[in-house]
Amino acid sequence: MIDPKLVTLFGGGGFIGRYVCEQLFDYGEYNVRLRVVSREPRKAHYIQPLAQVGQWGIVRGDVTDPGSVRRAVDGASAVINLTGAFKGMGAVHAEGSRTVAEAARAAGASSLVHISAIGSDAGSEAVYARTKGEGETAVREIFPNATIIRPSIVFGPEDSFANRLAGLSRLPVLPVIAPNCKFQPVYVEDLAKAIARAAVDPQTHGGKTYEIGGPQVLTMREFTVEILKAAGRKTELIDVPGPVSSLISRLGFLPGAPLTRDQWLMLQHDNVASKDAPGLEAFDIRPTPFGAVAPEWLAMYGGNRFARRRVNITATH
């Protein structure tokens, strides 16, 4: 039997993280053991039923705390950084990514998988894109053989975007902000497979940057239509003019505001994988269309309380 491969996973308790855990547990040939790092460990114990006895453990840690990061990666052969934030973005995306990369290098890890986002750019006006870009730069400088994965918008049973729009579809009219902005939505299980494969196979994927999207490029309006179709709703859509959405975004600092200024800035650029960047095909993964799986969980918004919904024991809301 191959010696156990210890993988340290930062952000394993989040939406994408739970699927990455599931994929890593299934890698029988690599005999993976998983150390999940979370700021609030009690919120990640739903992962336990997915693992065999002794296959995983959870530790308290925070990428903004160098000491906890060093302890978390001690003895790890692979490190995955899934962390992201909409508050304190510089501390998490830029400095936190640097801290994880430095700790992974010092620990002698053979692979580091860093999850960024399509549109990351250290010169961007948007804080999210800029800090993500700064994080990528730091990771590449410190750990040149790291695998950087940039996904487009990610959908799945627990995502906040499609579920939120499906819930709002109960309104008589649903406004669409940035209706012409393009996305390439990717199914969370497909993304998780790519992340897991990159972590256990640095000889193939190390040192590369991937842009991960699904099989469809959709405008915001088209994606909203797909969400309504999956939810069984026929809500009327109204496009919000650019100047109006810009004005709304300037009030984004108020509690409950529907759009922040930073989000508006991000929506001024398409979120689509570059044609020359490798994607899911490099991992031998066939991308899953939104319409093939989304009705399984979005049908619950259609008004029929007996609608079929995917049961996912790893989900917490």
139: helix, strand or coil: helix
Looking at residues 2-8, what average pLDDT do you find?
73
Q: Are 124 and 130 in contact (CB under 8 A)?
A: yes
**Percent of the chain beyond pLDDT 70?**
88
Query: Residue 314 has what pLDDT?
Result: 36
Token pair listed for 161: 């975007």
55-63, long-range: CB < 8 A, 24+ apart: 55/25, 56/21, 56/25, 57/33, 58/12, 59/35, 61/10, 61/37, 63/10, 63/92, 63/96, 63/97, 63/99, 63/100
Residue 230 CA: distances (Å) to CA of 24, 169, 178, 182, 294: 30, 11, 21, 19, 6
Q: How confident is the model at residue 257 (pLDDT cuts 50, 70, 90)?
A: confident
The CA distance from 224 to 179, in Å, is: 9
pTM strictly above 0.75: yes
Q: What is the pLDDT of residues 105-147, one digit of tens each?
A: 999 999 999 999 999 999 999 999 999 999 999 999 999 999 9
DSSP 153-204: -EESTT-HHHHHHHHHTTSSEEEESSTT-EE--EEHHHHHHHHHHHHH-HHH
CA 208-213-219 angle, 5° bins:
140
Q: Per DSSP, what are the bridge partners of residue 210?
A: 149
Question: Amino acid identity of 188?
Answer: V
* Lowest-confidence segment of 5-19, 32-46, 222-236, 261-275 by average pLDDT: 32-46
CB under 8 Å to 43, separation ≥6 — which residues?
Answer: 13, 316
Q: What is the pLDDT of residues 154-184, one digit of tens each?
A: 999 999 999 999 999 989 999 999 999 999 9
Can you state the angle between helices 127-142 and 97-107, rounded to 10 degrees? Answer: 20
